[in-house]
């Protein structure tokens, strides 16, 4: 057996391209996506249809909004407190008010007022998709507790009449809109009051009764509350509902309930403060009377005391500092309710207090130098002034708080009430369709590359040639026709005849050129076996088009379909099997291609015995010996080598073996094992053809693409081919 080096087919230098096919550049990735453009187009269309269906299936949602103004220091109660404001913290930051608006305390009243525990949900896929669903508003609904989880239905009879259907699909009552009805059921009573109904006769609704917590959760889910701007004191609230009038009504109810509770809370605070001050007032008055009496008694005991101008100034200054300290203490207590002690605002007040206390201490030291009688008179006058200030302030506050208790308006006002907005805010149909198309396209792209990654077979010509010491004659691009094993039946033309200038045809012609190079001493009477290492590689496509290519260049060619287990072309019911069994003469079994006079075809024929028995005998050898002188080339299409041994039986009779590989499908171990087995039976030259290759820039044996095909071949210009 000759050495492998002698078997290796030497392809033209212009055909050999050293390229690592396992790496993908950006341009190649784009080329892969272009090849799968119809697949991606299907994903885009499917995504658009899905998005359109979803957009129309979703019920329209209408949004209403309101504006509230929160003034943390407004309200008569706060103003009435004046310097005593620290006693009652009436500050109401927006963040706290937002949480109050969404609290169960507020929303529970709204649920009751708007009857949100009672639901009548329209049914009907067609009506929902076309947005022609009916509407039923319930003012009251009580479903017997034991049957509350069952399916209760209401059906419109006419524009003002409806009937209620029990879980047993029995009509248990018929009612009119605007009236309360009761019906006995399972030892209990069903109550229903429909306040509004807009439905065509026959339209149905699912009746349901939810609990308070469930209704509050549903209300809170559709309610959005946020402050407009930072510390602006303006709160915007919005609510979504499938009916625009209900959206406005529910949101206005939320605002009014919150406003009413805010007023009630402020009035309650004012009443509590008033009660506290009225209790404290007698004690303050008694203390004022006491210090005034002490001052009068002291003056009476010592007689008239002349106080100098300096003493009067000192006394006035000390009283002023005492008053300022009282104001700062009130401000500090108020600030402590909003901030921690380390806050700069609190620390500023503390520093001011410390400065005044230091100044007051100096004044007291200065006062010690005055005569004792003047010191005592000054101290008593200061006590009278301070207590009189407290008493006067308290009287004023009591008067104002009495007004507050009766006329408090709270620290909240509604700037804009909710209005009915007839334009749906959701769903955003175009956004849904665009997102669906984008997601489908991304899924399609991901699938294309994922499938390519899963095809983890060998893609590199260089690697195959290095590992097997066998040349790859051509890389045949992916073609829709390559998946049609019976091309002869359908068009009576091969691919190279139908489209002779496309890259696939050029690749097939490059195989012929390479074979001619290998038979440089004798280019006539060639017997070429075309096989594959597994089914589905496209060997029949390669063999039939190679036979047609030989015939097109003027060579008398015979195509023999020896894949008797799965024939690739059938014009007649007789063929190779009949000739080998001696039933039919070759001249009677062969047919001539209707499009290529130089091409004769011998089909597989009908056989009853095993194909292996037919091929191992001497009949095939004798047949080929008889046919060699009559043909320039004989192409034999054989079964895959890893499935049956038919191809091995033919090996001694051929001049050249062409093994077809599928791009990216075979492992190197599979290729090497198949070649090692083939070499034990075939000592003739062998070569590979890589079929189903991806259209990639700069790949193959020349460059083909938008501007034509250039490389070793016959000089055909590129012809545009529709996919």
| Model confidence at 60: pLDDT above 60 | yes
Give the pLDDT of residue 696. Answer: 54
CA triple 490-493-498, angle to 5 deg: 115
Segment (H or E) for 416: strand 412-416
| Model confidence at 262: pLDDT above 90 | no
Per-residue pLDDT reduced to its tens digit, 87-126? 444 444 688 889 999 999 999 999 999 999 999 999 988 8
Q: How far apart are CA 672 and CA 678, in angstroms?
A: 10
Q: How far is CA 652 from CA 523, 647, 655, 679, in A?
A: 19, 10, 8, 11
**pLDDT classification of 21: cutoffs 50, 70, 90:** very low
| More confident position, 366 or 229 | 229
| Model confidence at 251: pLDDT above 90 | yes
Give the pLDDT of residue 111. Answer: 94
**pLDDT classification of 566: cutoffs 50, 70, 90:** low
Q: How far apart are CA 234 and CA 227, in angstroms?
A: 6
Within its chain, how far is the Cα of 318 from the centroid?
73
| More confident position, 481 or 615 | 615
Per-residue pLDDT reduced to its tens digit, 31-44? 778 878 899 999 99
Mean per-residue pLDDT for 568-591?
80
Q: How far apart are CA 640 and CA 660, in angstroms?
A: 9
Strand partners of residue 225: 237
**pLDDT classification of 479: cutoffs 50, 70, 90:** confident
Per-residue pLDDT reduced to its tens digit, 191-200? 999 999 999 9
The DSSP symbol for 235 reads E
Annotate 120-157 with b (16+ C-beta within 10 A) or e (fewer).
Answer: bebeeeebeeeeebbebbbeebbbbeebeeeebbbbbe
| Model confidence at 714: pLDDT above 60 | no
Spatial CA neighbour of 221 closest among 80, 356, 91, 116? 116
| Model confidence at 13: pLDDT above 70 | no
Q: How far apart are CA 399 and CA 292, in angstroms?
A: 24
Mean per-residue pLDDT for 586-615?
83
Per-residue pLDDT reduced to its tens digit, 149-181? 899 999 999 999 999 999 999 999 999 999 999
Mean per-residue pLDDT for 615-625?
86
Q: How far apart are CA 615 and CA 605, in angstroms?
A: 13
The DSSP symbol for 651 reads G
**pLDDT classification of 489: cutoffs 50, 70, 90:** very low
Q: How far apart are CA 413 and CA 392, in angstroms?
A: 32
The DSSP symbol for 197 reads E
Classify 455-710 by CATH class.
alpha beta
Strand partners of residue 600: 558, 592
Per-residue pLDDT reduced to its tens digit, 295-318? 777 777 776 555 556 666 766 777
| More confident position, 597 or 393 | 597
| Model confidence at 247: pLDDT above 60 | yes
Each domain of the chain, given as residue ranges in start order, spans: 455-710
Q: How far is CA 11 from CA 17, 517, 519, in A?
A: 11, 7, 11
Segment (H or E) for 496: helix 495-498
Computed from CA positions of residues 479, 483, 484, 485, in that sequence, does the dihedral angle turn out positive or negative? positive
Spatial CA neighbour of 663 closest among 621, 617, 696? 696
Give the pLDDT of residue 202. Answer: 92
Give the pLDDT of residue 273. Answer: 74
Give the pLDDT of residue 184. Answer: 92
Mean per-residue pLDDT for 652-673?
90
Other beta carbons within 10 Å of 117: 20
| Model confidence at 639: pLDDT above 70 | yes
| Model confidence at 633: pLDDT above 70 | yes
Give the pLDDT of residue 502. Answer: 87
Lowest mean pLDDT among 17-31, 98-112, 329-343, 579-593: 17-31
Q: How far apart are CA 650 and CA 129, in angstroms?
A: 66
Percent of the chain residues past pLDDT 70, beyond the cut? 80
Give the pLDDT of residue 76. Answer: 45
Strand partners of residue 161: 176
| Residues ≥6 apart with Cβ < 8 Å to 109 | 257, 261
CA atoms within 13 A on the CB side of 415: 14
For tokens 């190197």, name the residue: 668
**pLDDT classification of 695: cutoffs 50, 70, 90:** low
Segment (H or E) for 435: helix 429-454
Lowest mean pLDDT among 201-205, 244-248, 667-671: 667-671
Q: How many residues are there in the chain?
A: 723
Q: How far apart are CA 206 and CA 464, in angstroms?
A: 68
Give the pLDDT of residue 469. Answer: 92
Within its chain, how far is the Cα of 568 from the centroid?
47
DSSP 328-365: HHHHHHHHHTTS-TTSHHHHHHHHHHHHHHHHHHHHHH
Give the pLDDT of residue 170. Answer: 92
Q: How far apart are CA 495 and CA 549, in angstroms?
A: 10
CA triple 600-565-668, angle to 5 deg: 100
Most confident listed range (182-186, 523-527, 612-616) = 182-186
Q: What is the mean pLDDT of the chain?
A: 80
| More confident position, 122 or 391 | 122
């Amino acid at each position: 057996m000759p050495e492998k080096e002698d078997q290796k087919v030497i392809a033209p230098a212009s055909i050999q391209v050293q390229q690592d096919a396992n790496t993908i550049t950006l341009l190649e990735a784009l080329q892969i996506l272009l090849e799968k453009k119809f697949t991606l187009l299907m994903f885009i269309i499917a995504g658009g249809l899905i998005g359109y269906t979803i957009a129309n299936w979703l019920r329209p949602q209408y949004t209403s909004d309101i504006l509230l103004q929160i003034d943390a220091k407004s309200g008569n109660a706060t103003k009435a407190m004046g310097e005593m404001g620290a006693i009652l913290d009436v500050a109401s930051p927006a963040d706290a008010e937002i949480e109050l608006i969404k609290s169960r305390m507020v929303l529970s009243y709204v649920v009751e007022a708007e009857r949100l525990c009672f639901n009548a949900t329209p049914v009907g896929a067609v009506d929902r998709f076309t947005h022609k669903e009916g509407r039923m508003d319930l003012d009251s609904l009580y479903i017997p507790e034991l049957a509350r989880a069952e399916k209760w239905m209401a059906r419109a009879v006419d524009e003002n009449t409806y009937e209620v259907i029990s879980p047993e699909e029995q009509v248990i009552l018929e009612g009119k809109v605007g009236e309360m009805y009761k019906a006995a059921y399972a030892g209990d009573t069903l109550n229903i009051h429909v306040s509004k109904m807009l439905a065509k006769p026959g339209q149905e609704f699912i009746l349901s009764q939810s609990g308070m917590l469930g209704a509050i959760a549903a209300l809170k889910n559709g309610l959005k509350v946020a402050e407009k701007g930072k510390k602006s004191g303006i709160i915007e609230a919005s609510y979504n509902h499938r009916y625009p009038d209900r959206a406005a009504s529910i949101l206005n109810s939320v605002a009014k309930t919150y406003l009413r509770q805010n007023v009630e809370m402020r009035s309650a605070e004012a009443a509590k403060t008033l009660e506290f001050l009225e209790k404290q007032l007698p004690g303050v008055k008694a203390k004022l009377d006491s210090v005034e009496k002490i001052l009068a008694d002291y003056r009476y005991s010592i007689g008239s005391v002349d106080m100098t101008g300096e003493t009067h100034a000192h006394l006035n200054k000390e009283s002023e500092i005492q008053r300022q300290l009282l104001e700062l203490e009130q401000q500090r207590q108020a600030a402590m309710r909003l901030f921690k002690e380390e806050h700069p605002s609190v620390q500023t007040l503390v520093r001011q207090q410390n400065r005044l206390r230091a100044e007051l201490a100096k004044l007291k030291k200065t006062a010690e130098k005055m005569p004792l009688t003047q010191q005592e008179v000054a101290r008593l006058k200061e006590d009278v002034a301070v207590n009189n200030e407290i008493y006067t302030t308290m009287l004023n506050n009591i008067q104002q708080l009495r007004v507050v208790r009766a006329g408090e308006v709270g620290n909240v006002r509604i700037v804009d009430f909710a209005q009915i907005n007839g334009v749906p805010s959701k769903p955003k149909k175009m956004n849904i369709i665009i997102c669906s198309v984008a997601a489908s396209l991304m899924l399609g792209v991901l699938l294309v590359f994922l499938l390519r990654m899963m095809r983890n077979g060998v893609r590199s010509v260089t690697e195959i040639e290095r590992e097997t010491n066998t040349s790859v004659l051509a890389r045949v691009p992916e073609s829709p026709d390559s998946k049609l094993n019976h091309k002869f039946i359908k068009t009576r033309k091969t691919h190279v005849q139908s489209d002779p200038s496309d890259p696939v045809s050029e690749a097939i012609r490059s195989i012929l050129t390479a074979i001619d190079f290998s038979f440089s001493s004798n280019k006539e009477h060639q017997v070429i076996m075309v096989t594959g290492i597994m089914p589905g590689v496209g060997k029949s496509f390669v063999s039939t088009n190679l036979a047609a290519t030989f015939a097109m260049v003027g060579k008398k060619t015979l195509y023999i379909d020896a894949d008797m287990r799965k024939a690739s072309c059938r014009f007649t019911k007789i063929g190779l099997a009949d000739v080998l069994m001696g039933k039919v003469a070759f001249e009677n079994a062969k047919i001539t291609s209707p499009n290529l006079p130089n091409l004769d075809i011998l089909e597989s024929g009908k056989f009853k015995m095993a194909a292996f028995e037919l091929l191992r005998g001497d009949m095939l050898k004798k047949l080929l010996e008889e046919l060699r002188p009559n043909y320039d080339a004989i192409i034999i299409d054989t079964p895959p080598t890893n499935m049956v041994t038919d191809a091995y039986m033919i090996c001694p009779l051929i001049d050249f073996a062409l093994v077809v590989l599928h791009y990216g499908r075979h492992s190197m171990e599979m290729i090497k094992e198949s070649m090692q087995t083939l070499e034990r039976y075939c000592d003739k030259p062998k070569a590979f053809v890589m079929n189903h290759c991806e259209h990639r820039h700069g790949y193959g044996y020349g460059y083909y693409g938008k501007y034509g095909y250039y490389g070793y071949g016959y000089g055909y210009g590129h012809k545009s081919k529709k996919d």
